[in-house]
């Protein structure tokens, strides 16, 4: 019965099953776990990391990795916050656009170094991770951005609900993220320009023979990653208000985690950004829930989280492999059966 | 009007000095001492304030040597501190003033520094074992921080009692751990019998982690009355989280915070009381102590009394929290409420 479902959809369904399993598990061990508040917590907290992970997915699809995203988020949150303190009258849309542009600028630096000179992205972005953070530390001069220095609409945006259903709230920032993820999904699956990212990742040589500009595609992937990290930086500013130089620290690992758990092949070429969204939500769910689970002490939380991520990935890989094998057998069986029928006719 | 300062201990120390009939050691101005001020990491306000105090003392003493303010970037704090201390040693710097974030891991580097003639004076956060450390300039008596936090908890929760939880920095921060231990000790007094510490979680001194931990605490303990955060990052993240969720009437926030960052939360009642000492003064006193040690005026032995410019006289004493280690106790600290926070925030 699974034979007709495309492989990516199958992966997504398995991931959703794992997600549901984790929710049920925590619901069983934590009192008063399943409620509207849980949805509000996870959805708002995932909004920021899911944006970054979506950008990361573009990069990973092309067989690269962007480790600098955490520093980009921090820089954008800080610089945009600083500009807003100077010119509080800037229109909201212009501010968001500015955040995206600054982020895209950082992404372009990575993209240029990787695509133009063919340098390994893990080294380039490891370096820019440190460089961007140092730029932030040097230019901040120790001052932090505080909520008071921002116009009221900035922290207000993170709190604004698109709609509420009883206790259930859907914040605007969650809506923005969902729209971005959906747009990215449609772009990657429906448009020729989007398919190029898969082509470069699955077989760079074949892609080049097919006339795809590899350098341009990789460059674009980094620019998209930077731009989405920039948008995430604006949301970070809006949600947390007080920005110090440590803002966004560690987001690179979280985003790569979400991408991998979300079923994007770390060696490029296959994946689905809807899966990345679910992956980000799964990691956040586990992280938030473990704090509430009495059995796990603070010191073990990180280790347990790591184990659960590993388990999720292994379970996903094993299940997909088994289903793929069964499908191959079924296909082989059908192929063997077909000539037999033909022979009967003659 | 609740504006109390815990100055008894500082007063006691000053008296002990005069009782010993020791001559007060004065600094000889204009010597060349090369000094390094090494914070936990660069880019946050308290450490910059400490640097301001050190620079003030540097000018006042007419030091013809250099004062270098340098530290690791936030993501590289532990390894970076050890590296900078080692580099300072090989450069032949006279003193390194260290706010230790590396626990006892830094002790071998500090011992090597001492052996090579570079003094190591800790401030803000000591080396837990005291190994390799000439002296620790303590902002306040660590035991009295415990009492003040317990008092603030009692005053906010009220005589009917209730549950509260601690939101700390990193699990291995020497100063926070010592303060929490001191508070647990203080809570044994029968007058705190009705307030109950239910949990300690760690926000890693990052806004988003602290913010999410604060919300998780509220979810985990439905009857929680107070979150006590002995870290300037944690306290404002927790206050923002409670304000954002409209929980300020139910769950208050207290701890150690910077007036400039906390003023709005104190005025709107989310964080009615919090405490802190002056980091400018701490930097100033640390500088004086280090200068005197490096010039040989101060031997660094228990009972020595010295003059620290505008801050008056101080005496070296045994550190009650760390056997065999020596400290200079600054004190006092101020408890901020809506009555005095605005003036301090400017």
B92 in the same domain as B21: yes
Residue A346 lies in a domain: no
In-domain check, residue A339: no
Share of chain A above pLDDT 70, in %: 92
Top residue of B55, B84, B200, B208 to mutate, by most chain A CBs within 10 Å, is: B208
Give the pLDDT band of residue A341 (cuts 50, 70, 90).
Answer: very low
Question: Is B342 inside a domain boundary?
Answer: no
Tokens for B346? 């400017």
Q: Based on the structure, what is the number of domains in chain B?
A: 2
Both B189 and B297 in one domain: the answer is: no
Asked if the C-beta of B307 comes within 8 angstroms of chain A's C-beta atoms, the answer is no
Residue labelled with tokens 């966004």:
A248
Clarify whether residues B99 and B79 are in a common domain. yes
Instruction: Provide the pLDDT for residue A329.
Output: 82
Mark whether B136 and B283 lie in a shared domain: yes
pLDDT at A293: 82
* Inside any domain, residue A344: no
Note the pLDDT of residue A73: 97
Show the tokens assigned to B139: 């902002």
Rounded to a whole number of angstroms, the distance between the first and last alpha carbons of chain A is 32
Residue B268 sits in the same domain as residue B294: no
Question: Is residue B291 located within the same domain as residue B256?
Answer: no
Give the integer Cα–Cα distance in Å for A60 and B320. 54
- Model confidence at A296, pLDDT cuts 50, 70, 90, reads confident
Q: Using alpha carbons, select from A321, A324, A309 the residue that is nearest to residue A279.
A: A309
Cα A264 to Cα A184: distance, rounded to the nearest angstrom:
14
Query: Is A41's CB within 8 Å of B263's CB?
Result: no
Q: Is B47 part of the contact surface with chain A (CB cutoff 8 Å)?
A: yes
Give the CATH number for residue A306: 1.10.3470
Domain final position from B246, B274, B302: B274
Arithmetic mean of pLDDT, A159-178? 91
Angle between helices B207-220 and A36-61 (to 10 degrees): 150
Both B255 and B327 in one domain: the answer is no
* DSSP for A273-338, written as a single string: HHHHHHHHHHHHHHHHHHHH-TTS-HHHHHHHHHHHHHHHHHHHHHHHHHHHHHHHHHHHHHHHHH
Alpha-carbon torsion A52, A55, A60, A64, what sign?
Answer: negative
| Residue B210: inside a domain | yes
Residues in chain B, pLDDT under 50: 1-21
pLDDT at A233 over 90: yes
Please say which residue of B256, B274, B292 terminates a domain: B274
**Measured between CB atoms, which of A137, A141, A299 is closest to B171?**
A299
Same domain, B156 and B231: yes
Question: Across the interface, do A141 and B42 touch by the CB < 8 Å criterion?
Answer: no
Grade residue A342 by pLDDT with cuts at 50, 70 and 90: very low
For residues B314 and B50, the answer to whether their CB atoms sit within 8 Å is no
Q: Is A211 near chain B, with CB under 8 Å?
A: no
Residue A58 predicted with pLDDT over 70: yes
Q: DSSP readout, A72-98? A: HHHHHHHHHHHHHHH-TT--HHHHHHH
Residue A241 confidence (pLDDT): 85
Domain count, chain A: 1
Q: Predicted confidence band at A337 (pLDDT cuts at 50, 70, 90)?
A: low
CB contact under 8 A, A142 and B43: yes
Confidence band of A325 (pLDDT split at 50, 70, 90): confident
Which residues of A, range 221-250, sit inside 8 Å of B by Cβ? Answer: 236, 239-247, 249-250
Q: Is B176 on the interface with A (CB under 8 A)?
A: no
Is B346 part of any domain? no
Q: What's the domain range around B240?
A: 142-274
- pTM here is 0.82
Based on the domain organization, do B29 and B129 belong to the same domain?
yes
Q: What's the distance, Cα to Cα, between the start and end of chain B in Å?
A: 20
Residue A254 resides in a domain: yes
Find out whether B142 and B179 touch, Cβ atoms under 8 Å. Answer: yes
B24 lies in some domain: yes
Which domain CATH number covers B81? 3.40.50.2300
Position A292 in a domain: yes
Rounded distance, CA B130 to CA B143, Å? 17
Is the confidence at residue A317, as pLDDT, over 80?
A: no
Question: Span A163-171, mean pLDDT?
Answer: 88
Task: Tell me the average pLDDT across A259-277.
Answer: 89
Q: Residue A193 belongs to what domain range?
A: 2-329
Q: Which of B274, B302, B318 is the last residue of a domain?
A: B274
pLDDT value for B287:
96
CB contact under 8 A, A240 and B206: no
pLDDT at B22: 56
Return the minimum-mean-pLDDT range out of A99-103, A228-232, A294-298: A294-298
On whether any CB of chain A is under 8 Å from the CB of B246, the answer is no
In a domain, A338, yes or no: no
Give yes or no: residues B133 and B16 share one domain: yes
Residue A337 lies in a domain: no
Tokens 């920032």 locate to A173
What is the per-residue burial (b if ≥16 Cβ within 10 Å, else e) of A271-308? bbbbbbbbbbbbbbbbbbbbbbbeeeeeeebeebbeeb
Two tokens at B58?
Answer: 């540097």
Interchain contact, B43 vs A236, CB within 8 Å: no
Q: How far is CA B263 from CA A238, B207, B267, in A?
A: 19, 17, 6
């Amino acid at each position: 019965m699974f034979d007709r479902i495309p492989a990516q959809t199958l992966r997504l369904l398995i991931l959703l099953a794992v997600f549901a399993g984790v929710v049920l598990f925590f619901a069983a061990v934590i009192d008063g776990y399943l409620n509207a508040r849980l949805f509000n917590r996870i959805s708002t907290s995932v909004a920021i990391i899911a944006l970054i992970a979506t950008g990361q997915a573009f990069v990973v699809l092309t067989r690269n990795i962007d480790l600098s995203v955490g520093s980009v988020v921090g820089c954008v949150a800080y610089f945009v916050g600083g500009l807003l303190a100077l010119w509080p009258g800037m229109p909201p849309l212009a501010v968001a656009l500015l955040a995206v542009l600054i982020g895209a600028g950082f992404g372009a630096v990575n993209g240029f170094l990787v695509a133009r000179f063919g340098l390994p992205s893990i080294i380039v972005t490891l370096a820019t991770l440190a460089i961007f953070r140092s730029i932030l530390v040097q230019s901040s001069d120790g001052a932090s951005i505080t909520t008071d220095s921002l116009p009221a609409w900035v922290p207000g945006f993170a709190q604004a609900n698109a709609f509420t259903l009883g206790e259930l709230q859907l914040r605007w920032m969650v809506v923005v993220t969902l729209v971005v993820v959906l747009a990215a999904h449609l772009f990657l699956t429906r448009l020729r320009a989007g398919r190029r990212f898969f082509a470069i990742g699955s077989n760079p040589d074949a892609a080049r023979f097919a006339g795809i500009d590899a350098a341009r595609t990789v460059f674009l992937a980094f620019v998209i990653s930077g731009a989405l990290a920039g948008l995430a930086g604006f949301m970070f500013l809006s949600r947390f208000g007080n920005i110090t130089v440590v803002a966004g620290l560690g987001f690179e690992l979280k985003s790569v985690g979400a991408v991998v758990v979300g079923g994007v092949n770390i060696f490029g070429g296959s994946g689905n950004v809807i899966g990345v969204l679910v992956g980000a939500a799964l990691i956040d769910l586990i992280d938030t829930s473990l704090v509430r689970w009495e059995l796990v002490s603070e010191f073990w939380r990180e280790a347990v989280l790591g184990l659960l991520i590993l388990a999720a990935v292994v379970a996903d890989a094993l299940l997909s492999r088994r289903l793929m094998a069964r499908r191959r057998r079924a296909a082989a069986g059908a192929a063997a059966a077909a000539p037999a029928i033909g022979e009967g006719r003659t | 009007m609740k504006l109390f300062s815990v100055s008894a201990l500082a007063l006691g120390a000053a008296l002990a000095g005069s009782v010993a009939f020791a001559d007060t050691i004065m600094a000889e101005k204009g010597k060349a001492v090369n000094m390094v001020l090494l914070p936990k990491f660069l880019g946050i306000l308290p450490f910059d304030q400490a640097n301001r105090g050190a620079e003030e003392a540097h000018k006042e003493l007419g030091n013809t040597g250099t004062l270098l303010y340098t530290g690791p970037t936030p993501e590289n704090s532990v390894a970076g501190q050890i590296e900078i201390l080692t580099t300072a040693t090989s450069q032949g710097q006279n003193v390194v003033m260290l706010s230790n974030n590396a626990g006892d891991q830094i002790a071998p580097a500090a011992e090597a520094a001492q052996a090579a003639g570079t003094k190591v004076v800790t401030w803000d956060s000591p080396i837990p074992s005291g190994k390799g450390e000439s002296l620790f300039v303590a902002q306040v008596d660590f035991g009295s921080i415990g009492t003040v936090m317990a008092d603030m908890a009692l005053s906010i929760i009220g005589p009917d009692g209730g549950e509260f939880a601690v939101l700390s920095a990193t699990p291995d921060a020497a100063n926070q751990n010592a303060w929490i231990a001191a508070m647990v000790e203080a809570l044994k007094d029968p007058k705190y019998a009705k307030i109950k510490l239910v949990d300690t979680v760690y926000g890693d001194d990052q806004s988003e982690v602290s913010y999410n931990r604060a919300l998780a605490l509220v979810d985990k303990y439905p009857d929680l009355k107070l979150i006590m955060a002995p870290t300037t990052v944690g306290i404002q993240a927790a206050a923002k989280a409670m304000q954002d969720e409209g929980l300020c009437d139910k769950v208050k926030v207290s701890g150690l915070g910077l007036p400039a960052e906390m003023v709005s939360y104190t005025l709107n009642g989310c964080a009615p009381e919090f405490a802190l000492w002056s980091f400018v003064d701490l930097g100033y006193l640390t500088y004086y102590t280090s200068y005197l040690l490096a010039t040989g005026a101060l031997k660094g032995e228990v009972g020595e009394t010295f003059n620290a410019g505008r801050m008056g006289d101080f005496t070296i004493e045994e550190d009650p929290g760390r056997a065999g280690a020596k400290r200079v106790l600054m004190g006092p600290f101020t408890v901020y409420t809506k009555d005095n926070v605005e003036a301090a925030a400017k």
